[in-house]
Amino acid sequence: MTLSIVLAGRNSLHSWWLGVLGCSLFAVLFYDVNLYADVALQLFFIVTCLLGWWRWRRGNAGQPLPIRRAQRPALLWMSVIALLATAGYGLLLQAYTNAYAPFVDSAVLAFSIVAQLLLMGRRIDTWPFWLLVNTISVPLYLSRGLQLTALLYAAYWVNALVSWFFWRRQLNAATLQSPLA
């Protein structure tokens, strides 16, 4: 999974199929430590990795899918929905399961979905969301005794920051080359 995330940061198509493998392994791990929102998230990632691979491969009318910015209203409604989903799913997990940290776990789920959807569309705005998710994930996983997973997510945090700058350079270079610029 680490290679998958690094390759996503480098804008590589190969990140998607490697993500399917990594997410399958994480689903089993998170189930074992009662992080059920994370299990659901890994299943979501498996499906979206397949869709992301197809979308990046297909592109726009035969051209590679370009890096773009998301519209601010879309980012706003996605964020509001993620906050509402965090509260709703957290309440469900709290009421009906033995979930550990149901609201924190649900925040990881909800904001990861937003980040993944933005990544699938090659939106540069994916990276601040991944920074948020990884910031929440590291202490959550440490609290469950998953030191290696927490360390991995700390590395993902660094990767998200580096990737944000890398994608910004690519977006700026593409904008300068565009005849509409």
Report the candidate in 122, 123, 121, 134 with the shortest Cα–Cα distance to residue 160: 134
Number of domains the chain is built from: 1
Whether 145 is covered by a domain: the verdict is yes
Q: What is the pLDDT of residue 179?
A: 59
Whether 181 is covered by a domain: the verdict is no
- Residue 25: which domain range? 2-66+77-169
Q: What is the pLDDT of residue 1?
A: 57
Name residue 169's amino acid.
R
pTM, to two decimals: 0.86
Report the candidate in 126, 131, 132 with the shortest Cα–Cα distance to residue 114: 126
At 178, the pLDDT band (50, 70, 90 cuts) reads low
166 to 20, 35, 38, 173: CA distances (angstroms): 24, 32, 28, 11
Residue 102 has pLDDT above 80, yes or no: yes
